Chain A
């Protein structure tokens, strides 16, 4: 899952980026409103965390512009100005969730997970697709035999993306877009290595390779 963090406080960004990456998100940072709006219009993000007090262009304006141009990127608004009229305005502008500063990272992560599940019409809590259960906090997958397997960072990101898009053909470039951030070295060949490792864990037939098109996670239920 690739996440856009639009926040101008350097220190907060450093800490938050680390936490988000640990939680399995590829994070790009925009430090002002103009960059945030531009990046958010790229179709590579799964969720955005938008601070309302951005320099150059404030968050509400960025959000309004996204929604006006038909961009439905899920957005969690982050703000120090947590008056109710601002909250109302935030939701009216098209925010999907709202978090006041200061906040606990756990709460932010829980809200991101909930929002991503909601966007993919998945119920809250653990991500369950057919007989697989992904624990996003511990980054483990439980297979039908009841065994829990821990995943590496990239494996976790890859599996989560596949589980959130069951029955849909996903190209290699889409996978790299949503798994790596702007600064990463994108080698799409590495994807194949991780796919092979996932097949060993959850069964080879669950991830189908469509030659020339990409991968398909099969929902058995």
Chain B
């Protein structure tokens, strides 16, 4: 979908262009019309003045009192012309010099306006009126050159166009600025959503324009509800685990205590079943607890949670005196649920500690995928079994490296996050090596720049 900003900019620019063009045409034509109207009314006045100065003698000769008319009619090619037609005579202004105006005779009271080319490339507005004076029909034609007015109008049009284009550009820039400013809250929300992805905040800021209020409130509400649901769900699973483990623990105690009085086969069978129920319960409950990519709850922090986990493992295995080396980037960002990640790393590092003789090494790197490599200097595993190690969900003897329960839980977690889990022999330390890679949710972390 196109961005709101480009859509709005496009619409606004288009309407501004339409507006200014229409305005330009309207104003140009209005001015031309007004000018011609004004000139034709002036010509009308001149015609009336001429008729006022005409004398008709007894023979029907028409005479014009030249002294009382505007001197502009005497100046050659001045742009102001007249022509008085009677039945016998053809009287033109001196300004016409050797030229003629095209003319038609009109009956009294008739009026006719036309455009003509005049002398000296002039374009003339020609007004002809039919009069009757002292019983003689006269046609008085008056003309004025429109070129000076036209060139004024042309200049006005150009100026208007320049001003309009400047205004248009200014307005487009202004509205782009206004848009950017008003859409800033949308960008802010996008930044906040990223922060949410990163786990830096757990709610969106509700101080947004009223139009966005309902959206932000709804997102916050959903976040809260999801987190609450996950919490409740996990609590319920914890309680379930607790409830199942109680009778299991007692069963285990009873079998242990009565080892000597019950047949060996029965005892072994019971122990096996108890262990199996326990591991199955653990695996199923742990799989159910996984939050996955739902981004509620808190995120795992390599800076904070990893040292605590390692501290815990050091406490658990303090008698083995194992040294642990952690190689990671300065800031490793991890959009993965804290409890999920602790479960994954806990199981894998625990496995490494269990088998290591002296050294465990953890290497963490993140770019498009988060890769975690855990190595130890223990006995390692048979390379032929690397493929199937995590598949053996429930296995009672954990005498071989990697076999067992922790790896299958890790495998569940990794597949929940669409990652991969692979096993090999450590080149650096000679023991077992686990490689985890988890895809980061890049679409959500880095929305395409627009």
Contact = CB atoms under 8 A, between A and B. Distances in A.
A83 B282 CA distance: 9
Given A81-B238, A98-B316, A103 B246 contact: no
A136 to B, nearest CB: 16
Given A9-B246, A81-B238, A102-B274, A15 B253 contact: yes
How many chain B residues sit at the interface, stated as a range, is 35 or more
A150 interface: no
Contacts of A85: 338-339, 342-343
A128 B205 CA distance: 64
A19 B245 contact: no
Interface stretch (B11-19, B191-199, B307-315, B386-394): B307-315
A15 B250 contact: yes
Contacts of A114: 319
Contacts of A80: 241-242, 244-246, 249
Chain B, interface SS category: helix
Contact of A83 (B244, B251, B252, B339): B339
Given A82-B282, A83-B339, A91-B315, A12 B249 contact: yes
A114 B305 CA distance: 28
Nearest to A105: B256
Nearest to B257: A15
A49 to B, nearest CB: 13
A91 B311 contact: yes
B241 A9 contact: no
B86 interface: no
A98 B312 CA distance: 10
B343 A84 contact: yes
B347 interface: yes
B289 interface: yes
B80 interface: no
Interface string A114-156: 1000100000100000000000000000000000000000000
Contacts of B308: 88, 91-92
Interface string A80-100: 111111011001100011100
Contacts of A105: 253, 256-257
A170 interface: no
B343 A103 contact: no
Given A9-B246, A81-B238, A114-B319, A102 B251 contact: yes
Given A84-B343, A88-B308, A101 B289 contact: no
A190 interface: no
B347 A84 contact: yes
Interface in B267-306: 274, 278, 282, 286, 289, 305
Contact of B241 (A11, A18, A81, A84): A81
A102 B252 contact: yes
Interface string A5-23: 0000101100110110000
A102 B257 contact: no
Contact of B249 (A92, A97, A102): A102
A81 B305 CA distance: 19
Nearest to A16: B253
A98 B248 CA distance: 18
B249 A9 contact: yes
B248 A102 contact: yes
A83 B289 contact: yes
Contacts of A91: 308, 311-312, 315-316
A104 interface: yes
Given A15-B257, A83-B339, A124 B242 contact: no
Contacts of B27: none
Interface in B155-193: none
Contacts of B245: 80, 101-102
A53 interface: yes
Most buried by B among A9, A81, A96, A103: A81
A200 B251 CA distance: 43
B250 A9 contact: yes
A67 B440 CA distance: 39
B320 to A, nearest CB: 11
A124 B252 contact: no
Given A81-B238, A84-B342, A105-B253, A12 B316 contact: no
Interface in A162-177: none
Contact of A87 (B238, B254, B346): B346
19 contacts: A12-B253, A19-B253, A80-B245, A80-B249, A81-B241, A82-B282, A83-B238, A85-B343, A88-B309, A88-B312, A91-B312, A91-B315, A92-B311, A98-B316, A101-B248, A102-B278, A103-B249, A103-B252, A105-B253
Interface of A: 9, 11-12, 15-16, 18-19, 53, 80-85, 87-88, 91-92, 96-98, 101-106, 114, 118, 124
Given A84-B339, A88-B312, A105-B257, 12 more contacts: A80-B244, A82-B282, A84-B347, A85-B339, A85-B343, A88-B308, A91-B315, A91-B316, A92-B311, A96-B315, A101-B246, A102-B249
Closest 3 interchain pairs by CB?
Answer: A84-B346, A80-B245, A102-B249
